[in-house]
Amino acid sequence: SKVRIYTLARDLGVDNNKMLEILDGLGVSYKSVSSTIEEDTVELIKQILEEEAAAGTAAPADSAPVQASAPQAAPTQPETQAASAPQPQAAATATAEREPVAASAPAAPSAPELPHRAPVVTIMGHVDHGKTSLLDYIRKTKVAAKEAGGITQHVGAFEARTSKGKVVFIDTPGHEAFTTIRARGANVADIAIIVIAADDSLMPQTREAIAHAQAAKVPMIVAINKIDLPQADPERVKTDLTQLNLVPEEYGGDLIVVPVSARTGEGVEDLLEYISLTAELEDLRADPKGEFSGVIIESRVDRQAGVLATVMVQEGTLRVGDFLVVGENYGKIKAMTDSNGGRIKEAGPSTPVQVLGFSEAPASGEKVFSAKNEHAARELIAQRVSDRRDAEAARTQRRRTLEEMMGPIGETRTVNLILRADTQGSLEAIQGILAKKETEDVKLNVLLSGIGSPTEGDVLLASTADATILCFSVTASGGVKKVADTKGIEIKTFRIIYELIDEVDRLIKGNLEPVF
């Protein structure tokens, strides 16, 4: 019978990437690690692994298994390995030449690389589809109960312990947090979970969440929630997703879709497993010994304690006493707590920590760096202030170059759009016309199309993806306009479809014709 790739990998005790390598070697096609493979293939894989293992034990004890260090001995050519095994001298030499590789485990040909880090996951989706409930369920079941009976403070992220290792969740659900962080140029999330209620299917904010994840190129996993409800219709959700060109695996695509219930907990274990699986394929790594860098998740001012900022460590290790620089401010870490409220002295990659020591609350999404001492921190800030002034001066002086206006010569150019309209009907009409506008040279990329007025989230998406917002029969509120102004994003409103289309034509031409 057929077996899923990741199940086989788990049963045979090799990692998923290794399994995919073997399949590639065999010329077996697959969509993802949850694709199934034939029994014959399974037998072949077992043989290959056995032969590799045999070749490994035949090699000198102090050298790495032959197959890990000798690239020409591909997993698909067990004969080659068998041939090299009886020549311990040659094998040893080959190993010595690739010194860093020799330290690796048989299944990881990438020993000199950095250690793995835990994935950081964000949960997005439509209001009331169960984002908060899902986070609560995971927190309740996967976070070690806090010692000493204190109330765990909400710090913007928490660490869940799963059978596959640590998974870090950003616990401000919704794409606003995600996009605010990204709008500052930082990327915190490695994986986006899109929650869709099984009784409601795709809703406007679901599409927005998907657009945001796609714009950030963050891999998505869909959690179909509320499957405990009698009116739940997960199949409809899958069909609706297909309409967005997101094809679930069971329909032959590569989108992982997991049915869950945040109420009963059904499927949550599977969801966590898929997160770990995706993380493994993403091959997330960071250097705990490297230079520190991180991102502010959120911050607040506590009446007694002062400024409390949650920092996500991305590289290096943060220690109490370190000087941190955020924007043009700095602070010395007086104390640190983990997301569980426990005092800690140091924190490595993929760890959210709450630090005490800033004098001003830093904004979420700001990048954090460290400095050796106060003097170095001040110097770094002085440098930044002068860089900023230079950049400002340059911006006012600079004339736009041809290439800036046209994009690189000879490449297909893309016009990014966000569409907002009053009804589904007008949206579809507009999209229908736009679909015919694409040419070989210019691609129209509608990042998001939605019903109703443009939101602040749209503006942030537009600013990170360099898009124009076009509205039909809806207008932006004053607040949204203000944000758009400060970010330099254009929001244009039209009452007649063909005027909107004319504008798109202008954008296309603007991208095509050199302007002198």
Distance CA 194, CA 501 (A): 32
Which residue number, 130 or 219, has a Cβ lying nearer to ligand GDP?
Answer: 130
Q: How many residues bind ligand GDP (CB under 6 A)?
A: 16
Which residue number, 229 or 244, has a Cβ lying nearer to ligand GDP?
Answer: 229
Sheet holding 491-494, edge to edge: 442-451, 413-421, 468-472, 491-494
Residue 256 near residue 35, CB atoms below 8 Å: no
Stretch that binds ligand GDP, among 75-83, 140-148, 260-268, 309-317 (CB under 6 A): 260-268
Nearest by Cα to 223 from 154, 158, 126, 140: 126
Report helix, strand or coil for 126.
coil
CA–CA–CA angle 167, 173, 178 (5° rounding): 85
Which residue number, 48 or 123, has a Cβ lying nearer to ligand GDP?
Answer: 123
Report in angstroms how near the CB of residue 134 gets to ligand GDP at its nearest.
7
225 binds ligand GDP (CB under 6 A): yes
List helix spans (H) across 299-423.
374-397, 402-406
Q: Is the dihedral of CA 242, 248, 249, 251 positive or negative?
A: negative
Distance CA 132, CA 130 (A): 6
Residues between 126 and 145 that touch ligand GDP (CB under 6 A):
127-133
Q: Which of 24, 228, 338, 438 binds ligand GDP (CB under 6 A)?
A: 228
Residues between 163 and 192 that touch ligand GDP (CB under 6 A):
173
Distance CA 15, CA 23 (A): 13
Tokens of 283: 């091959």
Which residue number, 124 or 377, has a Cβ lying nearer to ligand GDP?
Answer: 124
Distance CA 45, CA 275 (A): 25
Report in angstroms how near the CB of residue 184 gets to ligand GDP at its nearest.
24
Q: Which of 226, 238, 332, 420 binds ligand GDP (CB under 6 A)?
A: 226
Phi, psi of 153 (to 5 degrees): -75, 145
Question: Residue 194's beta-bridge partner residues?
Answer: 124, 222
Report in angstroms how near the CB of residue 223 gets to ligand GDP at its nearest.
10
Residues between 25 and 64 that touch ligand GDP (CB under 6 A):
none
Q: Which of 23, 45, 210, 262 binds ligand GDP (CB under 6 A)?
A: 262
Which residue number, 209 or 246, has a Cβ lying nearer to ligand GDP?
Answer: 209
Distance CA 424, CA 405 (A): 33
Which residue number, 132 or 214, has a Cβ lying nearer to ligand GDP?
Answer: 132
Stretch that binds ligand GDP, among 153-161, 225-233, 320-328, 435-443 (CB under 6 A): 225-233
Which residue number, 201 or 351, has a Cβ lying nearer to ligand GDP?
Answer: 201
Alpha-carbon dihedral angle through residues 373, 377, 379, 380, given to the nearest 10 degrees: 130
Which residue number, 41 or 201, has a Cβ lying nearer to ligand GDP?
Answer: 201
Tokens of 215: 């714009």
Report in angstroms how near the CB of residue 459 gets to ligand GDP at its nearest.
22
Report in angstroms how near the CB of residue 129 gets to ligand GDP at its nearest.
5
Residues that bind ligand GDP (CB under 6 A): 125, 127-133, 173, 225-226, 228-229, 261-263
